[in-house]
Amino acid sequence: MSQREVARVSLADMTRMMAGGNESEVFNQPKCAICNIIETDERKLLTCARCKKTRYCSKDCQAENWESHKSTCTAQNYILKVSLCPTEITNPSVTRTLSCPSTATFEQLHRALQIAFGWASTHTYDFKIIDPNAQPEPLPDFTTIIKRSMAPWNDGPVPDAGSRQNLLRIIEKDPFGPGGFASGRGIDSMHNQSRVHSQTPEVDSKKIKLGKVLQNKEYEGAGIEYEYDFGDCWQHTVEVMGRAEASKKFSCLGGEGHGVAEDVGSDSGWLKLREAYRTMNPTTEQKERRTWFESGASNSDPRGLGNGREWDWDMIDVSARLRR
């Protein structure tokens, strides 16, 4: 009798479980998709690296099953927790947790984050895979700042301001959009040169998928950062929390805190706006901040942040918009 036939019957495993009074567990154990051999403490099955669900007792079984399995084999989603300026913005923090298709591009992740955080999509962005061994970047001297800012007009390389900070930078190739510079969008891209480094490769966000980066062993242990608006420098830390059932759309799993006002003036401006709503006797400047947020900001909220609304955000609305 061949090994395949013995494995299919798997009497030894059944006998051992029945002896322990656990015969019902035989039918609940993970099984090889080809020969039905069950997993035991002594024999661990292989798991399909892409879908993380289908099991095999050997590489031979996996190879045999691939033709029929590949049409339904879909990589699991990534569960990403994204926190906006987590050190500076607290009580409440501003976070969102998303289930993200592994086949989505980083440009699609950017769009999902714009929806989830309530941003207005009027500024430039990038994603950075942070070098865990990077040395602290020194403050550049005035001459270096001028050379870096003038590099695009001198047809030369951008001089480095210090050691490499990032293993990879995923960028927006066309920050101005269809309307070009006249559209008014992406003007903050003028600050892009301060983020360039000769040893950090750059790739178009539309041409690289989440799975390509998040499964890359070269980036194990590296932090991930999403930066939006190169003027206000809204830095979002991205944490991979786990995997979820594969889907074609993004979905929102949780979060905290009202979305931040566009062009409020970095994290310090947001904290000043929150304080303007918390005080019982607002100054003239604080009243002006309130008015601007309720009617002038590109992602304004006419209800403001009073009466604890700095904690409010609508998960149902975010989820519905992500599904469109």
Q: What's the domain range around 22?
A: 3-69
Residue 101 lies in a domain: yes
Could you report the per-residue pLDDT of 58-104, keeping only the tens digit for each? 998 898 888 878 776 789 999 999 999 999 999 999 999 999 999 99
Query: Of the candidates 32, 53, 69, which is a domain's last residue?
Result: 69
Domain match, 86 and 204 both:
yes
Domain match, 171 and 191 both:
yes
Domain match, 191 and 86 both:
yes
- Whole-number Å distance between alpha carbons of 195 and 288: 34
Residue 168 has pLDDT above 50, yes or no: yes
For residues 272-280, give the mean pLDDT. 97
Phi, psi of 196 (to 5 degrees): -90, 140
Domain match, 238 and 284 both:
no
pLDDT of residue 210: 98
Residue 147 lies in a domain: yes
For residues 273-287, give the mean pLDDT. 98
Question: What CATH number did the domain enclosing 165 receive?
Answer: 3.10.290
Domain match, 233 and 303 both:
no
Domain match, 101 and 250 both:
yes
Q: What is the mean pLDDT of the chain?
A: 88
Q: Could you tell me which of 55, 57, 52, 51 has the C-alpha nearest to residue 71?
A: 51
- Whole-number Å distance between alpha carbons of 257 and 255: 7
Looking at per-residue pLDDT, the higher value among 153 and 270 belongs to: 270
Domain match, 104 and 86 both:
yes
Q: Burial level of 30, CB count in 10 A (0-12/13-18/19+)?
A: middle
Residue 248 has pLDDT above 90, yes or no: yes
pLDDT of residue 52: 81
Q: How confident is the model at residue 17 (pLDDT cuts 50, 70, 90)?
A: low
Domain match, 12 and 63 both:
yes
